Structure 1
């Protein structure tokens, strides 16, 4: 998995390329934590370059969403691939996702309101 950070106006973007699986989960978690420590108010994890997504990879997203929610900040995930979107739904995110229009991530999913 490759991680790249960039900023678009008031949003910090973490671009992910490659497999988001149990081997990459730690790196994803570290990237999300680094972004949160940067004191951003909007964080977008862009999975448009991801080749796969597993439960272990999703854990880093959930932790990031909870941390951002605790800061009353916005956490978004861009999941353009329908297969990866179905993985999120299969792991219990279906009722908690909402599509948003933000910047270049027209298919972003908000995880801001995750249950504790």
Structure 2
């Protein structure tokens, strides 16, 4: 699991790569908490290079979204592959955090 960030105007893009499963959830939680407690209040998580996500991985994203929302921020997701998209949809997660097909579309959706 690799997590990196890059600022794009007022949005912080978080790129996730690899597998976000129970083995990576501890690292993912620590990184997500650091990211959402930072200066950026608009965070876009790009899942384009995420190969797999488990329920533990879903909790990482949910924790980040809840912490950010509590601080008056917004989180959006983009570019999930078919498997990750199915997991998000099946778990009902897609109704909690907006998911966009491309990074450009997600960027436009921030207000």
The reply to whether TM is greater than 0.5 is: yes
Question: Which residue is equivalent to 1:105?
Answer: 103
Write the deviation string for residues 34-70 of structure 1: whole angstroms up to 9, x where unpaired. 1112121101111111110111011010011101111
Question: Which residue is equivalent to 2:34?
Answer: 34
- TM-score, scaled to structure 1: 0.80
Q: Secondary structure at the match of 2:91?
A: helix
Query: More deviation in 76-85 or 5-14?
Result: 76-85
- TM-score, scaled to structure 2: 0.83
* Alpha-carbon distance in structure 2 between the residues aligned to 1:62 and 1:107: 21
State the superposition RMSD in angstroms: 2.0
Question: Which residue is equivalent to 2:66?
Answer: 66
Does the Cα contact within 8 Å between 1:44 and 1:75 map onto a contact in 2? yes
5+ unaligned residues in a row in structure 2: which ranges?
Answer: 107-111
* Alpha-carbon distance in structure 2 between the residues aligned to 1:98 and 1:46: 12
Asked if 1:20 corresponds to 2:20, the answer is yes
What is the Cα deviation at residue 95 of structure 1? 3.6
What is the Cα deviation at residue 81 of structure 1? 0.8
5+ unaligned residues in a row in structure 1: which ranges?
Answer: 109-116
Question: Which residue is equivalent to 2:86?
Answer: 86
User: Which has the larger strand fraction?
Assistant: 1
User: Which has the larger helix fraction?
Assistant: 2
